[in-house]
Amino acid sequence: MRNKGKLVFFDGQKALFLLLDPVVSILLALAAGAVMIWALGIDAGLAYRALWQGAFGDANALANTLLYAVPLMFMAFAFAVAYRAGVFNLGAEGQMYIGAVLAAWAGYAVTGLGHTAHIVLVLLAGAVGGGLWGAAPAVLKAKRGVNEVITCIMLNYIAINVTNYLVNTRGPLRGGSTLPATPVIQDTARLSKLIAGTRLSSGILIAVFCGMALYIFMWKTRAGYKLRAAGLNAQAAECGGIPTTRCAVTTMIIAGALAGMGGAIEIAGVHSRFYAEFSSGYGFEGIAVSMLGANHPFGILLSAVLFGALKNGASAMQIQAGANAELVKVLQALVIFFIACRWSIAKLLAYKWGAAGKDGGGEAREEDG
């Protein structure tokens, strides 16, 4: 955006305006959750304090919260970039699995590389694998008109079961242990730890960098403008000379690469090998994270930390307050429920300001850049 002849990289006021709805939705979800907790005979205040302490109480708690948030960031990026271009990517789970297994192979099979080169190779292997897996639904939609939602869901199951075969008994990538997993990756392929004594790796820094890069690409480049234009109105974009079919394929490759890189970071930064069914459903949780973050990279970074805090603080809430850890999933569902209701304080304020500005010829218009 340009303001008085100067390029504005990020409009903080507009960003706060867009985050208003998610913040209010979170507050409503916490209020509704408190009513449910009280109805069960549990002190809601104690439960929420325990949840906070479990998620942010000390350096170890914060590290684990960020650890849970990293894969959610990448899965949400994978959903958001496709959604902005008018494609519904429900295949991040499968893209993550393919990226993770290729990253694990690159981590243990390739030898003789330095630490930096090996890390780059592992991340590239994950991104390429996820990108190619993500391109398949887009190509089928472009060439045969097949709905990408159906193909994405089916490819998730294919990816999970194919990778299960690769590491199960007599699987070609099975390691020398009793676990259904690949061999342990080499030390040169492992991401460094950010906080000593924790599992938090430099993957969080890569996630933040990817979020910033995604924002610059989608909102500050011509290619990103074309993708967003195709998502807003495909027919108008076609009339304007934008190849919407190519945009759909491109955006799914980018989305798949982000999901695959998320899987690679899980291998190189957390597990040090690929396990069968290592994901707890990150691909599908990423959809909720993206929705809460308004499908915007910076919003996603914040919402992923929130979901990571809920996952990490659940056990503390159960131990200290006696509240079932499954209540955290209820809180997550309530957040999405209030987001999906499509009531909007931001739009109400925009309407009010627009009505107030009619005398001066102004008109409110919501933007997200």
Q: How confident is the model at residue 7 (pLDDT cuts 50, 70, 90)?
A: very low
- C-alpha to C-alpha distance for 266 and 273, rounded to whole angstroms: 9
**Structure pTM?**
0.89
Q: How confident is the model at residue 5 (pLDDT cuts 50, 70, 90)?
A: very low
DSSP type of residue 270: I
Q: Would you state the pLDDT for residue 308? A: 95
- C-alpha to C-alpha distance for 280 and 258, rounded to whole angstroms: 18
Task: Please write the tens of the pLDDT for every residue from 94-126.
Answer: 999 999 999 999 999 999 999 999 999 999 999
Other C-beta atoms closer than 10 Å to the C-beta of 73 total: 34
363 pLDDT more than 50: no
Annotation: CATH topology of 8-357: ABC transporter involved in vitamin B12 uptake, BtuC (1.10.3470)
CB neighbours of 12 closer than 8 A, spacing ≥ 6?
none
Query: What mean pLDDT do residues 146-166 have?
Result: 95
Q: Would you state the pLDDT for residue 49? A: 94
Q: Would you state the pLDDT for residue 366? A: 43
Higher pLDDT, 338 or 138: 138
Q: Would you state the pLDDT for residue 17? A: 62
CB neighbours of 56 closer than 8 A, spacing ≥ 6?
62, 65, 309
- C-alpha to C-alpha distance for 103 and 98, rounded to whole angstroms: 9
DSSP type of residue 214: H
25 pLDDT more than 70: yes
The single residue listed with the structure tokens 């970074």 is: 301
- C-alpha to C-alpha distance for 173 and 183, rounded to whole angstroms: 8
3-state secondary structure of 58: coil
65 pLDDT more than 80: yes
Q: Would you state the pLDDT for residue 175? A: 86
C-alpha distances (whole Å) from 332 to each of 67, 109, 313 are: 18, 40, 13
Identify which of 164, 201, 155, 208 has the alpha carbon closest to the alpha carbon of residue 182.
164
Query: What mean pLDDT do residues 200-227 have?
Result: 96
Locate 325 and state its tokens.
């850890």
8 Å CB contact between 312 and 322: no
